[in-house]
């Protein structure tokens, strides 16, 4: 592995790790607050048990999110000094607001976790809600930094140097709205459905039925609503990508030749050598319609770009297909969920569907980030700075990569082990 590849792998691995805990940190506190609210209103001890159960989850997962986030803020410099050199002053602003939000989040979580008998119940409840709000806001800010990498704004590029820097314009770049909308929904969807799925599974196994059914309902209201909205947000993202980064869109769709009345290919594998799609189902005109709202619009293909400016087509295409497939399946599940809620009873097979969806949202998040980040290649700042020019001069990056893989794998194993112990104690406490 050469140093560039190792650095990219390290970045991808540490972000891919962090984003799971970040999504949890943006969603779980809300679930917890709803349960806590219901307890304070109805005084039903089951809701208190649920609040405390979720709170312990939040505490464990938040700590992992916090330490992996700290690693990231260093890695921006450790891996990409050539990027931060330009980008720091331009996109530091969302990071500084994100930092403010984290600070408040860290304070709020301390107050909530340890403040049970030190504050009046509603003040205490508010601190729990604030954990969610500040986490959610920080997620919105940090995506602005990523949006800027996709749609650079707020500076003039003169002879390879950034001048007339305007951090406000940079923060309000054109990729931010669609990316943060889509990402925040993704967090709600993935975590809502994952929590719902876990409780559905415990319910099906006959563990603590009352608690698990209540938990399922709270989690799925959020998860299922977000699942239904997500394809629309994804469509908006697609339209923006068509406009801002045609090469990324072409790679996502395996669209090699610029054409009018372009077909949408469902599934299939792009073959870069022959520049064709194999085994896909073609839906004529649909790509033009989706990207430009016109069946006959021209969709730019990869042929408009020199070969060295192509992103890795296969990876981007497959990741995109995975995300869309999951998005469609989960949207369907979301609709069914509300239908069964209106009928007042969940059939067992549907609960198994919910269980099956539990890991899918997380997979879609990872796939979505692969689309965004790998689809931006070979640029680290789209159209301006190449990734290879931004990488650190430090040799032996492969050891850095190996170190973090080992460290994070240990952390992941320990986290899963701990969460399993939590669930086992639920069974003991609330009966089988």
Which of another protein, ligand HDD, ligand HEM, none is residue 88 near (CB under 5 to 8 Å by kind)?
another protein
Alpha-carbon separation of residue 64 from 19, 114, 136, 408, 413 (angstroms): 11, 18, 17, 10, 12
Residue 275 phi/psi, 5-degree rounding, is 55, 45
Residues 365-404 that bind ligand HDD (CB under 6 A): 365, 368-369, 371-372, 375
Kindly state the smallest distance separating residue 274's Cβ from ligand HEM, in Å: 24
Contact call for residue 324 and ligand HDD (CB under 6 A): yes
CB-based contact 163:180 (threshold 8 Å): no
Q: How far apart are CA 249 and CA 243, in angstroms?
A: 9
Indicate the pairing of strand 269-271 with strand 298-299.
unpaired
Q: How far apart are CA 172 and CA 91, in angstroms?
A: 10
Contact call for residue 414 and another protein (CB under 8 A): yes
Residues 380-409 that bind another protein (CB under 8 A): 392-395, 400, 403, 407
Residue in 153, 323, 355, 426 binding ligand HDD, rule: CB under 6 A: 323
DSSP string for 266-305: ES-EEETTTTEEESPEEETTHHHHHHHS-TT-EE--GGGS
Contact call for residue 21 and ligand HEM (CB under 6 A): yes
Alpha-carbon separation of residue 36 from 31, 40, 220 (angstroms): 9, 6, 16
Q: How far apart are CA 167 and CA 296, in angstroms?
A: 39
CB-based contact 361:258 (threshold 8 Å): no
Binding mask 336-365 for another protein (x = CB under 8 A): ------------------------------
User: Looking at beta carbons only, is 74 or 232 nearer to another protein?
Assistant: 74
Of 80-88, 108-116, 155-163, 318-326, the window that binds ligand HDD (rule: CB under 6 A) is 318-326
Q: How far apart are CA 193 and CA 330, in angstroms?
A: 9
User: Looking at beta carbons only, is 109 or 194 nearer to another protein?
Assistant: 109
Question: Length of the chain, please?
Answer: 432
Contact call for residue 326 and ligand HDD (CB under 6 A): yes
Residue in 53, 86, 93, 105 binding ligand HEM, rule: CB under 6 A: 105
Indicate the pairing of strand 276-278 with strand 161-163.
unpaired
Site of interaction with ligand HEM (CB under 6 A): 8, 11-12, 15-16, 18-19, 21-22, 25-26, 62, 65-66, 69-70, 72-73, 76, 80, 83, 102, 105-106, 135, 138-139, 142-143, 145-146, 183, 366, 369-370, 373-374, 376-377, 380, 387
Site of interaction with ligand HDD (CB under 6 A): 150, 175, 179, 182-183, 186, 189-190, 230-231, 234-235, 237-238, 241, 323-324, 326-328, 330, 361, 364-365, 368-369, 371-372, 375
């Amino acid at each position: 592995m050469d140093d560039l590849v190792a650095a990219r792998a390290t970045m991808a691995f540490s972000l891919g790790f962090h984003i799971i805990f970040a999504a949890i940190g943006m969603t779980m506190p809300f679930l917890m607050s709803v349960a806590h609210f219901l307890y304070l209103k109805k005084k039903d001890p089951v809701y208190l048990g649920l609040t405390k159960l979720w709170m312990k989850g939040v505490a464990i997962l938040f700590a992992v999110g916090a330490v992996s986030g700290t690693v990231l803020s260093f890695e921006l410099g450790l891996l990409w000094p050539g990027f931060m050199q330009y980008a720091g002053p331009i996109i530091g602003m969302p990071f500084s607001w994100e930092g403010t939000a984290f600070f408040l989040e860290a304070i709020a979580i301390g107050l909530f976790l340890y403040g049970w008998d030190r504050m009046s119940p509603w003040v205490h409840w508010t601190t729990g809600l604030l954990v969610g709000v500040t986490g959610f806001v920080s997620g919105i800010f940090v995506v602005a930094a990523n949006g800027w990498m996709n749609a650079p704004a707020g500076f003039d590029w003169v002879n390879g140097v950034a001048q007339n820097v305007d951090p406000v314009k940079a923060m309000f770049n054109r990729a931010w709205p669609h990316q943060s909308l889509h990402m925040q929904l993704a967090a709600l969807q993935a975590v809502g459905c994952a929590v719902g799925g876990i409780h559905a599974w415990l319910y099906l196994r006959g563990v603590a039925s009352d608690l698990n059914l209540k938990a399922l309902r709270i989690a799925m209201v959020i998860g299922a609503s977000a699942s239904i909205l997500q394809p629309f947000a994804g469509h908006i993202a697609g339209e923006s990508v068509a406009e801002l980064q045609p090469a990324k869109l072409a790679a996502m769709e395996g669209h090699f030749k610029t054409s009018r009345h372009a077909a949408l290919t469902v599934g299939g594998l792009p073959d870069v050598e022959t520049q064709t799609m194999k085994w896909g189902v073609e839906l004529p005109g649909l790509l033009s319609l989706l990207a430009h709202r016109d069946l006959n619009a021209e969709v730019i293909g990869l042929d408009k770009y020199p070969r060295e400016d192509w992103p890795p087509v296969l990876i981007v295409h497959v990741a995109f297909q995975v995300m869309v497939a999951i998005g469609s399946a989960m949207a369907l599940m979301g609709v069914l969920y509300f239908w069964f809620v209106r009928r007042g009873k969940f059939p067992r097979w549907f609960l198994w569907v919910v269980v099956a969806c539990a890991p899918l949202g997380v997979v879609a998040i990872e796939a979505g980030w692969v689309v965004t980040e790998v689809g931006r290649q070979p640029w680290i700042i789209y159209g301006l700075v190449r990734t290879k020019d931004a990488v650190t001069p430090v040799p032996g990056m492969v050891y850095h990569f190996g170190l973090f893989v080992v460290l994070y794998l240990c952390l992941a194993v320990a986290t899963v082990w701990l969460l399993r112990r939590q669930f086992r104690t639920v069974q003991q406490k609330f009966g089988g």
